[in-house]
Amino acid sequence: MKRPTIADIARRAGVSKGAVSYALNGQPGVSEATRQRIIAIAQEIGFNPNSAARALSGATANAVGLALCRPARILGIEPFFMELISGVEGELSARSYALTLQVVADPDAEIAVYRRWWGERRVDGVFVCDLRVDDRRVPVLEELQLPAVVIGGPGHTGTLASVWADDAAALVETMEYLVALGHRRIARVGGLPGLLHTEIRGKAFVEAGERLGLEQSLTVPSDYTGEEGARATRRLLGAAGRPTAIIYDNDVMAIAGLAVAQEMGLAVPGDLSIVAWDDSALCQLTHPPLTALGRDIPAYGAHAARQLLAAIEGREIGAYQDETAHLTPRGSTAAPSPA
Amino acid sequence: MKRPTIADIARRAGVSKGAVSYALNGQPGVSEATRQRIIAIAQEIGFNPNSAARALSGATANAVGLALCRPARILGIEPFFMELISGVEGELSARSYALTLQVVADPDAEIAVYRRWWGERRVDGVFVCDLRVDDRRVPVLEELQLPAVVIGGPGHTGTLASVWADDAAALVETMEYLVALGHRRIARVGGLPGLLHTEIRGKAFVEAGERLGLEQSLTVPSDYTGEEGARATRRLLGAAGRPTAIIYDNDVMAIAGLAVAQEMGLAVPGDLSIVAWDDSALCQLTHPPLTALGRDIPAYGAHAARQLLAAIEGREIGAYQDETAHLTPRGSTAAPSPA
DNA sequence: GATTTCGACTGAACCGGTTTAGTAGGCACA
DNA sequence: TGTGCCTACTAAACCGGTTCAGTCGAAATC
């Protein structure tokens, strides 16, 4: 089946290719009557502009890129990315932008992907996930002048646009809630060290712990997987003076922690309170359901997409602060039983 | 920053654009010495061929498409798609193919996306997920002659290539295992009605139930969400002559079912055995861990990608049968307690 | 009535690759 | 010495859009 081109439309309308281009793109240069006639013909023959031709002559590729740098097994289990993607998609498809996805093995590969995309002119802009402290990707994107929106922050985003949420505030709110319940020994199972939001949460945890006068406020680093979450939990619960509450950096680790606690004969929430960061549907499926810090991830993605489209259009944009995660108390948190 | 083009390379090498093209693409027409010189220059200046220009003149866009037609909340929670994507990616990126992702609202929108992609020449081929009985997408793709690989089957794939696994056999194996443990009343919480694999599993369930002489073999339809899985479970367990074992069409519903059983005071596996289809890491995080039907989803995706690339290259391909899911017994299945 | 202006449109260049047709030079063979 | 053939290249067309520089006729201006 032959794809219709503007030349076909031009022939049928008895005008030149240029006139067709003007008509279809809403540019001045054709009369309203001719424009309508051309649009009608285009619709009739089911015309879609060849994206390659458009990208080659015009400015944009009408596509944006997202490179994900996490191993497959973690990607699968984290609802975060899929929810983010679906939010991003909503904005993009409304403007007929395509999303190009690439899974990469490490930050160097990711940087190589950006350089390739830029060289190939395959994308007009990119999303940057999993921001790190002094992230090496940032200067590369600045150098390439590739429009980019960093998903994360605040800070360490250089001159790039960003979308971020105040994790420190959310964590402090959670700790105050636990303290109000009577907890004095609170632990935290953190995400991948080196990720900016892990560091931000870690710092906030220490500071709030001091301010609230906790007896104990220990962070154990982890990697978002259930296995590591379970291991960290065993370590925390096996030690003397074990915590009465644990905050997990994602829901998968929290669920694993819950299983470990039950396995060790500890009652949740009687002996141990559990809070999960990221409130996916999973948190409501456990027994007891998990108290969780949640926010609207698809909306977060949508904001990021809007920022990126604005950046591509050359509009001046900066950091956009998204809503702060809010705590949904469920059955996994309660006052600690008297020791 | 200016992107280098083959004209830049040609100038520096003192040859024509054509020679550069031959050299970089491994075509005959240049001497080995010249080829090496050109390749060296290309590397030195960091050349990447403009994908639009290549797509416009040559045949391929060097991209394939994947349209996902599921609501955001289900997409997020299902590890299946992300694992599939990461497997697909592995094959694609090895051949420098890009993956274009689009989330759509319904099958009509999905068909529209295929037509647009085809018209725009944006992709060289597509993956088709969630195959339905008499799927309307199949004839459209055949008409467009857009290379496609259906992920699912067998049957209902028309002339399109496909990758499938024998779900019926896996289900029968599972039922035989449960019968061997002593179960006579087995229920099933199914996936979305209308999806081919749901129908195939449903049919196999009924047939095997009869063949094995079960007292009861009831399927309750569901939609893969935890809420629906919980509701279906309550319905099954609340009725008289409740089943002693339930097979769930995905892991999320199985986890929800486990929580419901515990909530109702039933011991798992003592009073109720539970089997999950799709063995994600979640299955090992529950208490007890779930017996699950698992297979290597990234490998499945990789096979699909290989099939699609072959189809794009015009090689004759048909249906590829992937490994059958295998049962991993864990703590959620045991002999039923004497009634 | 001559000149300017403007709207509506055309023709051609251009984007950066691939590919086809053509050519120059070297060598073998009669 | 001429013919044929091969290798190693070049020039130019082409893909399908966008856009720039004109052109043409009609209306507006003086």
∠ CA A19-A20-A26, rounded to 5°: 90
Q: Which two tokens stand for residue B79?
A: 């590890």
Task: Show which of residues 156-175 on chain B sit within 8 Å of chain A, judged by CB atoms.
Answer: none
Supply the pLDDT for residue A229.
Answer: 95
The yes-or-no verdict on residue B74 having pLDDT over 80 is no
pLDDT tens column, B272-294:
999 999 998 889 888 899 999 99
Cα distances (angstroms) measured from residue B164 to each of A193, B80, B197, B297, B300: 39, 14, 10, 11, 8
Lowest mean pLDDT among A96-100, A183-187, A227-231, A281-285: A281-285
Q: Give the whole-angstrom CA distance, residue A62 versus residue A96.
A: 7
Instruction: Please give the span between the terminal C-alpha atoms of chain B, in angstroms, as a whole number.
Output: 77
**H helical segments located in B16-78:** 17-24, 32-44, 51-57, 72-77
pLDDT tens column, A239-262:
899 999 999 999 999 999 999 999
A155-180: average pLDDT? 96
pLDDT exceeding 90 applies to what percent of chain A? Answer: 83
pLDDT tens column, B233-254:
999 999 899 999 999 999 999 9
Distance A22 CA to D19 C1' (A): 10
Spell out which residues of chain B touch residue A1, defining contact as CB-CB under 8 Å.
143-145
Does residue B59 belong to the interface with chain A, where contact is any CB pair within 8 Å?
Answer: no
Supply the pLDDT for residue A171.
Answer: 97
Domains of chain B, with CATH numbers?
A: 6-49 (1.10.260.40), 61-339 (3.40.50.2300)
Q: Is residue B89 a contact partner of residue B101, using CB atoms and an 8 Å limit? A: no
Q: Which two tokens stand for residue A179?
A: 């303290």
Q: Three-state SS across B99-124?
A: EEEEECCCHHHHHHHHHHHHHHCCCC
A96-100: average pLDDT? 93
pLDDT exceeding 90 applies to what percent of chain B? Answer: 83
Contacts of B338 (CB under 8 A, 6+ apart): none
Q: Which of A285, A229, A266 is nearest to A74 (CA)?
A: A229
pLDDT tens column, B181-226:
999 999 999 999 999 999 999 999 999 999 999 999 999 999 999 9
Supply the pLDDT for residue B1.
Answer: 67
Q: Is residue A219 a contact partner of residue A202, using CB atoms and an 8 Å limit? A: yes
Cα distances (angstroms) measured from residue B185 to each of A160, A206, B215, B235, B270: 60, 54, 6, 15, 14
Task: Show which of residues 69-128 on chain A sit within 8 Å of chain B, judged by CB atoms.
Answer: 72-73, 75-83, 85-87, 89-90, 93, 96, 98-104, 115-116, 118-122
Q: Which nucleotide lies nearest residue B57, CA to C1'?
A: D15
pLDDT tens column, B89-118:
999 988 889 999 999 999 999 999 999 999
∠ CA A35-A41-A45, rounded to 5°: 150
Q: What is the mean pLDDT of chain A?
A: 93
Q: Give the whole-angstrom CA distance, residue B57 versus residue A3.
A: 15
Contacts of B198 (CB under 8 A, 6+ apart): B190, B191, B192, B221, B249
Supply the pLDDT for residue B60.
Answer: 84
pLDDT tens column, A41-86:
999 999 999 999 999 987 689 999 999 998 777 788 788 999 999 9
The yes-or-no verdict on residue B339 having pLDDT over 60 is no
Q: Give the whole-angstrom CA distance, residue A143 versus residue A139.
A: 6
Supply the pLDDT for residue A339.
Answer: 57
Helix B17-24 vs helix B32-44: crossing angle, to nearest 10: 90
